[in-house]
C-alpha cells in the first residue's frame, strides 16, 4: 500500500469512529443545553445500546432491525428513569453533586452490564454484509456507509425537532434561558426529562451502529464519554454543529496517530487533544457560550 492509500484508509477509519464521537458529543450538548449538567453517564448509554442489541439478537433471537428499535427504546427509558430517580429529586444541587451523581450512575450502569453479560467482548453482524468497497485503493466497509447515513439522519431529525416541533422549540428556549422559559409557561422539569431521554436515545443509536466494527464490552463507556466530551469541548460546549465537526476531527487525528505514531497510545491521543483544548482554546474552535 502506498502512503497515499494508507492516508486515505486512515481518513476513512477516522471519519467512521469520529461520527460516533460526534454523536456522543451531541448527547452531551442536549443535556448541557437544557440543564447545564455534564452527564458523565453519557458513554454508558452508548455501551448499553450496543450490549442490549447484542443480547436481543443473539439470546432472544430477534431480527436485527427489531432489536435496533427495541434497544433504542429501552435505553431511552433507562435515561428517563435515571433522570427521575437521580436528578429530579435534587433541589438546586451544586456542580460537584451533579458530577458525583452522574459518575455514580455511570459506574452503576457499567457494573450492571458486567453483572448481566460478564467481561467478554461481543460483536454484531454488519447491517448489510461484509463485502468491502474499494475506493482509490482504500477499503470502505459497508457498515461505514450505514454509520454515516444513520448519523446524517440523526442530525437531520435533530434539526427538524429543534426547529419545527413544539417540544423541540421549548427545549431550545430552556437552553437560552431557563427562568424565562419557565415564565412563558414551559415546564422546565419536563424538558430536563426529555433531554435525558433524547440524549440516551442518540447514545444508544451510536452504540448499535459502531458495534459491528468496533465490538462492545461493559467497559467501553468511560472512554467513549471522554472522547465525546473532548469533541463537545473542541466544538464549543453547547454547539451542535461544532460537536459533529469536532467529532470528525478527533476521529481522524486519532486514526492518523494510531497509524503513524503508536497504536498503543491510540486512546491517549484524544485525551491529549482534550487537555490541549482546555489549555489553549477552552471556548472550542467554533466559540462557546460559557467561558468562565
Partner 1 sequence: MGKKNLFSLLVLGIMVMILPLVISNPYYLSILIFVGIYSLITIGLSLLMGYAGQISLGQAAFFGIGAYTSGILSTKFSLSPWLALIIAIFVTGGIAFLIGTPALRLKGHYLAMATLAFGQIIFIILNEEIAYTGGPSGFGQIPYFKLGNFVFNSDFRYYYFVWSIVLVVLIFSLNLIHSRVGRALRSIHGSEIAANVLGVNTAKYKIQVFVLSAIYASIAGTLYAHFVTFLSPGTFSFSFSIALLTMVVIGGMDSIWGAIMGTALLTILLEFLRIFHDYDILIYGGVLLLIMIFLPEGVFKGLFNLIYKGNFPKNRLIKKSLESRR
Residues that bind partner 1 (CB under 8 A): 38, 40, 86, 89-90, 92, 94-97, 99-101, 103-108, 110-112, 114-115, 119, 222-223, 226, 229-230, 233, 262, 264-265, 267-268, 271-272, 274-275, 278-279, 282, 290-292
Taking the complex as a whole, the smallest distance from the CB of residue 223 to partner 1 amounts, in Å, to 7
Residue with Cβ nearer partner 1 (134 or 279): 279
Residue with Cβ nearer partner 1 (35 or 67): 35
Pair 25, 202: CB distance under 8 Å = no
Centre a 10 Å sphere on the Cβ of residue 24 and count the other Cβ atoms it contains: 30
Residue with Cβ nearer partner 1 (89 or 185): 89
Residue with Cβ nearer partner 1 (38 or 193): 38
Residue with Cβ nearer partner 1 (117 or 146): 117
3-state SS, 153-214, equals HHHHHHHHHHHHCHHHHHHHHHHHCHHHHHHCCCCHHHHHHHHHHHHHHHHHHHHHHHHHHH
Taking the complex as a whole, the smallest distance from the CB of residue 275 to partner 1 amounts, in Å, to 6
Pair 102, 194: CB distance under 8 Å = no
Taking the complex as a whole, the smallest distance from the CB of residue 232 to partner 1 amounts, in Å, to 10
Taking the complex as a whole, the smallest distance from the CB of residue 40 to partner 1 amounts, in Å, to 7
Taking the complex as a whole, the smallest distance from the CB of residue 260 to partner 1 amounts, in Å, to 16
- CA pair distance 11, 252, nearest whole angstrom: 6
Q: Distance of CA 26 to CAs 3, 142, 204, Å?
A: 34, 24, 12
Residue with Cβ nearer partner 1 (64 or 107): 107
Helices (H), the chain: 3-35, 42-58, 64-82, 95-117, 142-164, 166-176, 178-183, 188-214, 221-234, 240-260, 266-280
Taking the complex as a whole, the smallest distance from the CB of residue 269 to partner 1 amounts, in Å, to 10
Taking the complex as a whole, the smallest distance from the CB of residue 273 to partner 1 amounts, in Å, to 9
Residue with Cβ nearer partner 1 (88 or 190): 88
Residue with cell 459497508: 142
Q: Which long-range contacts (CB under 8 A, 24 or more apart) does 83-92 make?
A: 83/192, 83/193, 83/196, 83/197, 84/193, 87/35, 87/37, 87/192, 87/196, 88/189, 88/192, 88/193
Amino acid at each position: 500500500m502506498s502512503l497515499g492509500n494508507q492516508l486515505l484508509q486512515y481518513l476513512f477509519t477516522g471519519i467512521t469512529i469520529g461520527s460516533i464521537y460526534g454523536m456522543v458529543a451531541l448527547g452531551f450538548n442536549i443535556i448541557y443545553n437544557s440543564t447545564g449538567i455534564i452527564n458523565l453517564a453519557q458513554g454508558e448509554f452508548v455501551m448499553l445500546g450496543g450490549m442490549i442489541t447484542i443480547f436481543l439478537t443473539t439470546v432472544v433471537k430477534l431480527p436485527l432491525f427489531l432489536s435496533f428499535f427495541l434497544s433504542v427504546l429501552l435505553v431511552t427509558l433507562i435515561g428517563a428513569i435515571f433522570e427521575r430517580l437521580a436528578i429530579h429529586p435534587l433541589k438546586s444541587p451544586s456542580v460537584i453533586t451533579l458530577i458525583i451523581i452522574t459518575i455514580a450512575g455511570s459506574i452503576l450502569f457499567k457494573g450492571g452490564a458486567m453483572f448481566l453479560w460478564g467481561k467478554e467482548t461481543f460483536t454484531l453482524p454488519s447491517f448489510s454484509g461484509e463485502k468491502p468497497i474499494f475506493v482509490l485503493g482504500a477499503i470502505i466497509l459497508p457498515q461505514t456507509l450505514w454509520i454515516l447515513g444513520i448519523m446524517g439522519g440523526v442530525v437531520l431529525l435533530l434539526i427538524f425537532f429543534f426547529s419545527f416541533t413544539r417540544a423541540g422549540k421549548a427545549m431550545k428556549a430552556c437552553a437560552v434561558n431557563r427562568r424565562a422559559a419557565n415564565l412563558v409557561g414551559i415546564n422546565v422539569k419536563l424538558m430536563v426529562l426529555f433531554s435525558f431521554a433524547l440524549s440516551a436515545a442518540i447514545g444508544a443509536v451510536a452504540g448499535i451502529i459502531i458495534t459491528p466494527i468496533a465490538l462492545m464490552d461493559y467497559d467501553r463507556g468511560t472512554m467513549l464519554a471522554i472522547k465525546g466530551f473532548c469533541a463537545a469541548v473542541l466544538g464549543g460546549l453547547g454547539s451542535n454543529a461544532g460537536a459533529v465537526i469536532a467529532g470528525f476531527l478527533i476521529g481522524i487525528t486519532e486514526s492518523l496517530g494510531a497509524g503513524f505514531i503508536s497504536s498503543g497510545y491510540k486512546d491517549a491521543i484524544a485525551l491529549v487533544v482534550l487537555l490541549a483544548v482546555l489549555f489553549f482554546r477552552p471556548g472550542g474552535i467554533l466559540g462557546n457560550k460559557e467561558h468562565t
